[in-house]
Structure 1
Amino acid sequence: MNMSEVEMRHIAEMVAALDKAAGKKPARASGELNRQQICAALGVSESTIRRLEQAGLPYTPVGARSKRYDLEECKNWLKEHNQCPSGMIKTEESTSALRRAGKEFTESCRKVQLRVMPSA
């Protein structure tokens, strides 16, 4: 899932506004996001972020259990390490091959249905 900078900034602002309304402290700097904010900005789940942390995703520890993520650093790390949020890198070829196979299956089902259905 590719998101533009404007969309990511908008999501981070919305999350910050929700945090503020809930009485939570905002991130210290515009680039520092908590786990929920980085998930929203990258469009991935928390378990994916945990998996990426184990693979080396950069973060700054804050306190005993909290972490802060710099959006630009994380995006650069993802680009350098070819990490896809789902864990697999999808190629255009494999996606189009799956679509083609799905289309062929749908067409064969329609043909079978036409043969089975009595004409009125």
Structure 2
Amino acid sequence: MSNQVLIVDDSRVSRMLVRGYLEESRPNWRYFEASSGEDAIALVQKEAIDLVTMDINMPGISGLAAGERILQLRPKARVVVLSANVQANVRDKAEALGMQFLPKPVTAATIVRLLEMMEQE
């Protein structure tokens, strides 16, 4: 099960929500945050990240492009897209790149679903 988590979102509030919900049920995990895809990629090059939650719409490279690069660097990592951009083509592209998708808004139920996805591994 994952123990190093990277939360990627240009919204500080969204990062705080995801982290808060995850820390409630997984307080022993180690958490990292990034506000852009570029920062996320740089962090993944330094840390053995197991799970990435990724927003799509951010300044700089998109979350999908960042997620694709992260999976090249860490093929065993799980990348879960958390986005309000719920169009079928976005979901399909995320899944084609090897990522999973959960819609925003981030709630306790969203994080429960994310953890269930992790356990189905």
TM-score w.r.t. length of structure 2:
0.26
- Max radius of gyration: which structure? 1
Structure number with the higher helix fraction is 1
Structure number with the higher strand fraction is 2
